[in-house]
A and B are shown apart, each in its own frame.
Chain A
Amino acid sequence: MSEAAISVHNLYRFFGPLQAVNGVSFEIPHGSVCGFVGANGAGKTTTMRILASLDYPTMGHAEICGINVIHHPAEVRRLIGWMPDHFGNYDNMTVLEYMDFYARALGYKGAERRQRIDEVMEFTDLVPLADRFSNKLSKGMTQRLCLGRSLLHDPQVLIMDEPAAGLDPKARVELKHLIRVLAKEGKTIFISSHILSELGEMCDSLLFINNGRIVHHGDAESLKKSTDLLGGVLYDVQLDGDPQALSDWAVLQPNIEFLESRKTGGRIRIDTEDPNKAADVLSRMIRDNLRVIDFHREQRNLEDAFIDILANLERDANFVPAPPPLPPQSEQLPQEPRFDP
Chain B
Amino acid sequence: MLVKELRQGLRTRSFIAVFLTLQIILGIILLSAGALATSDYAGQKISNVIFIFFSIAVLVIQPMRGIAALSSEIKGNTIDMLVLTRLSAWRVVTGKWAAIVSQSALILVTIIPYLILRYFFGGMNLVGEIMLLLLIFVTSATITAITVGLSASASAILRSILPMIALPIGAMTLLGMIFDGGNSNIAEFCALDTKESRIFVPCYLAACAYVGFFFLSTGTSLIAPYAENHSTLRRLIALALTCIAAVLCSFSFTDPMAIPFVFGLIFAPVFAISLSEFAPLVSPVFQKFSRYGPFGKLAGIFLFPGWPSGVFFCLLLSCVSVIPFVLNQRPTYGSDEPVIFALCFLGTLLFPAVIINLFKMKGAHRVSNYVLFGVASFIVAMLLMGLVETMSNKDFMWLFIWIPPVLLFMQAGSGFDDGDVFVAAIVIDALLIGILLVLAMREYSFSIREVKKSIASVE
A54 touches B8 (CB 8 A): no
Which 3 pairs of residues, A with B, have the shortest CB-CB distance?
A: A88-B76, A105-B85, A332-B447
Asked whether A92 and B8 contact (CB < 8 A) given A330-B450, A331-B446, the answer is yes
A333 at the interface (CB under 8 A from B): yes
B282 touches A82 (CB 8 A): no
Question: Which residue of chain B has its CB nearest to the CB of A78?
Answer: B86
In the complex, chain B residues whose CB is within 8 Å of the CB of A327: 453, 457
Q: Which of A56, A61, A97, A328 has the most CB of B within 10 A?
A: A56
In the complex, chain A residues whose CB is within 8 Å of the CB of B227: 56, 70-71, 73
Smallest beta-carbon distance A124→chain B, Å = 16
Tell me the complex Cα distance, A61–B284, Å. 13
B364 touches A340 (CB 8 A): yes
In the complex, chain B residues whose CB is within 8 Å of the CB of A330: 280, 450, 454
B8 touches A71 (CB 8 A): no
A90 touches B8 (CB 8 A): yes
Smallest beta-carbon distance A151→chain B, Å = 13
A88 touches B7 (CB 8 A): no
A255 at the interface (CB under 8 A from B): no
B457 touches A60 (CB 8 A): yes
Chain A interface residue count, Cβ-Cβ cutoff 8 angstroms: 48
B337 at the interface (CB under 8 A from A): no
Q: Select B457's contact among A10, A73, A78, A82, beta carbons within 8 Å.
A: A10
A93 touches B8 (CB 8 A): yes
Asked whether A90 and B78 contact (CB < 8 A) given A105-B1, A338-B154, A339-B364, the answer is yes
A336 touches B283 (CB 8 A): no
| 1/0 contact string of A248-287 vs chain B (CB within 8 Å) | 0000000000000000000000000000000000000000
- Which residues 195-230 of B have a CB within 8 angstroms of A? 222, 225-228
In the complex, chain B residues whose CB is within 8 Å of the CB of A77: 84-86
- Which residues 73-93 of B have a CB within 8 angstroms of A? 74-78, 80-87
Smallest beta-carbon distance B353→chain A, Å = 17
B434 at the interface (CB under 8 A from A): no
- Which residues 291-335 of A have a CB within 8 angstroms of B? 327-328, 330-335
In the complex, chain B residues whose CB is within 8 Å of the CB of A336: 362-364
Given contacts A334-B280, A340-B155, 19 further A-B contacts (CB under 8 A): A54-B83, A56-B227, A56-B280, A58-B454, A59-B453, A70-B227, A84-B77, A87-B81, A88-B78, A91-B8, A92-B12, A93-B4, A93-B8, A102-B81, A102-B85, A149-B81, A332-B281, A333-B450, A340-B364
Tell me the complex Cα distance, A160–B166, Å. 42
Question: Which residue of chain A has its CB nearest to the CB of B365?
Answer: A340
In the complex, chain A residues whose CB is within 8 Å of the CB of B454: 58-59, 330, 333
A53 at the interface (CB under 8 A from B): yes
Q: Select B154's contact among A60, A106, A335, A339, beta carbons within 8 Å.
A: A339
Q: Select A340's contact among B85, B154, B228, beta carbons within 8 Å.
A: B154
A234 at the interface (CB under 8 A from B): no
A114 at the interface (CB under 8 A from B): no
Asked whether A82 and B364 contact (CB < 8 A) given A105-B86, A332-B443, the answer is no
- Which residues 395-424 of B have a CB within 8 angstroms of A? none
A52 touches B458 (CB 8 A): no
A89 at the interface (CB under 8 A from B): yes
Chain B contacts to A: CB under 8 angstroms: 1, 3-4, 7-8, 11-12, 74-78, 80-87, 152, 154-156, 222, 225-228, 278, 280-284, 306, 362-364, 443, 446-447, 450-451, 453-454, 457-458
Q: Select A89's contact among B4, B76, B84, B363, beta carbons within 8 Å.
A: B76
Tell me the complex Cα distance, A204–B141, Å. 54
Smallest beta-carbon distance B16→chain A, Å = 11
B225 touches A71 (CB 8 A): no
In the complex, chain B residues whose CB is within 8 Å of the CB of A70: 227, 282-284, 458
A86 touches B77 (CB 8 A): yes
- Which residues 91-128 of A have a CB within 8 angstroms of B? 91-93, 97, 101-102, 104-107
What are 25 A-B pairs at a CB distance below 8 A?
Answer: A54-B83, A54-B225, A56-B280, A59-B454, A60-B458, A68-B458, A70-B458, A71-B283, A73-B228, A80-B84, A87-B78, A87-B81, A90-B8, A91-B8, A91-B12, A105-B1, A105-B85, A332-B281, A333-B282, A333-B450, A338-B222, A338-B363, A339-B152, A340-B156, A340-B364
Chain A contacts to B: CB under 8 angstroms: 10, 49, 52-54, 56, 58-61, 68, 70-71, 73, 77-78, 80, 82, 84, 86-93, 97, 101-102, 104-107, 149, 327-328, 330-340
B363 touches A335 (CB 8 A): yes
In the complex, chain B residues whose CB is within 8 Å of the CB of A88: 75-78
Q: Is the interface of A mostly helix, strand, loop or mixed?
A: loop
In the complex, chain B residues whose CB is within 8 Å of the CB of A334: 226, 280, 363
In the complex, chain A residues whose CB is within 8 Å of the CB of B363: 334-336, 338
In the complex, chain A residues whose CB is within 8 Å of the CB of B282: 56, 70, 333
B364 touches A53 (CB 8 A): no
A87 touches B77 (CB 8 A): yes
Question: Which residue of chain B has its CB nearest to the CB of A340?
Answer: B154
Tell me the complex Cα distance, A88–B74, Å. 10
Tell me the complex Cα distance, A138–B454, Å. 44
B226 touches A56 (CB 8 A): yes
A106 touches B85 (CB 8 A): yes
Smallest beta-carbon distance B305→chain A, Å = 11
Q: Select B87's contact among A49, A87, A105, A335, beta carbons within 8 Å.
A: A105
Tell me the complex Cα distance, A331–B450, Å. 9
Smallest beta-carbon distance A333→chain B, Å = 5
Question: Which residue of chain B has its CB nearest to the CB of A93?
Answer: B8
In the complex, chain A residues whose CB is within 8 Å of the CB of B280: 56, 330, 332-334
Smallest beta-carbon distance A99→chain B, Å = 11
In the complex, chain B residues whose CB is within 8 Å of the CB of A105: 1, 82, 85-87
Tell me the complex Cα distance, A105–B73, Å. 15
Smallest beta-carbon distance A152→chain B, Å = 9
Tell me the complex Cα distance, A193–B281, Å. 34
In the complex, chain B residues whose CB is within 8 Å of the CB of A86: 77
In the complex, chain B residues whose CB is within 8 Å of the CB of A10: 457
Tell me the complex Cα distance, A78–B85, Å. 8
Tell me the complex Cα distance, A340–B447, Å. 25
